[in-house]
Structure 1
Amino acid sequence: MTANAPDDDAQAGDTPPPSVVVLCNAAPFREGLAHAFGQASADTDPAALADRLAAERGWAISRTNIYHSSDARLDEDHRKWVERLKDTQSTLVTQPGDIRVRMALDGMRALRERQADILLVMGGDTSFMALAQDTRTAAREQKRTIKFASAFAPSSHPLGQTIPSADHSITIDRDMADKCLMPASATAPSRRIYAGRSIDTTSPAAATPQAPAPRRARPRLMPAIYGTGLIASMMALMWEDVVASGGADALDWSAERWSVSTLLALGKSVVWPLYWLARAFGIDAGGA
């Protein structure tokens, strides 16, 4: 099928347009565009490009998954590009290992659950020939039309060729890639998946700020020890003062005398660890 010809499946009367699930392997996608059109084209937004390719053919994008291996060593440009993917109309899937395995599994699940009439692979290679065959098998078993499409930027690079046995071979040209370049800062909402865990940032519930959970105050050990020691030291020193004054005679102390005793005990107890350590070693610490 030619690259820019409308899909026959989209022309049948009032039937809804074919539903497309896009699977994009991030690193090969960028590499293929850079080799075909120059490094600047590597900043193309896969989701925007898929939307344009689908619109030209009368298809409807139902989901765009962009896959990135967390094992890959990224240069600064690629790292920034991946960060900006989180703010595009797409699902970013990041996990360790060979990301192509995850892509194939997600594609097979979309076929099994009847989520796609067309599987569109971007940044694919010959390893996806098996997925193309699975697409035909699913079409026979489900008795419906399911197609496998491969989008590529033509060049002498191995990634500049269509996936063999694809039903639709879609050529990406420079003009279309340039129209889909990422802005310096994207603002569209996104849906992200990390190692199989999905976080939907487009739903109203996710957009509503949640009140932080109340946090129980934790006792601080050192202040508690110091405060307890301070009170105990003051009580001990005041008791020594009472005993030294004859015990019962302390009952006749005036308020001023009690104040003096309390202040002296407080003054010595401010540094109570040093004070009582000095007394333990028989050093004159100004006892009561």
Structure 2
Amino acid sequence: MGNEPQHDRAGEMNLQTAVTKPLRWPRRHPIASAVLLAVLACMLVLAGRGLKPPHFVLDPATQASVTPVDEYVWRKASDWLDGRKYAVLTFDDGPYGHGVDEHILSVLRHHHAHAIFFLVCHRIDDTTGRLLGTFEQEGHIIGNHSFDHLQLNKLEDFDLYQQIEGCSRRIASLTGHRPYYFRPPFGLTSSHVRQLAEASGMQQILWNANTQDSWQTKPEQILYWTREQTQNYSILLMHDKPATAAVLDQALTDLESRGFQFVLPEPLPPDAAAD
């Protein structure tokens, strides 16, 4: 009676061993998890490729960048994993004429890119006026950059009205519709300038990335500032001029190698534009 059954002792020893023995996670589980995560990441990347870019609107707070709308979480994850970024290309001070505009259009066509051209209306004559139809036929947007490229925040109301409204009417006479976007020359604006532009049915649009091509003429300088300043969701300022046209293909190729796609903003709802 005093002797314990052998199977009871064996069970006790097995229990003690199980309690004191450190737990070991099977090696196959971390490997399987890593493989699963890698497969999921690849699926997200592939799912985002080949799709149209998300829709963008102008950031109403800054008017200097764009923000995506109706973008799903999986698309954000795909863009992040693939290093995919977006930027808006803008060209001020056109039309230039002398083949410069045509060269810029050719480069944009080569890169399947679209842009906003902010035109100075006194530069639209019988020769350059034909370019407006080409801009729109190729999917670009024409914007108002004032009639004479003056410092609008220093003008009296009548002259300010003539600069903004006069340019919109000139563009409408050639395209059949008024421009939707407005950019003040030199980026010099005020609440009054903005209000008058909005009263004329336009959204003011500025920029947060500058190629510095308004004063830089060397290709390496323009390329440096393009790389340095363009970030995800940037609005990039360029100018319709020979130095920019000469370096544009290299600049866009460089941006594309960094994962950039070129997009255009869509109109803001009226209530958002008024905020």
TM-score, with length taken from structure 2? 0.29
Higher RCO (CA < 8 A, seq sep 6+): 2
TM-score, with length taken from structure 1? 0.28
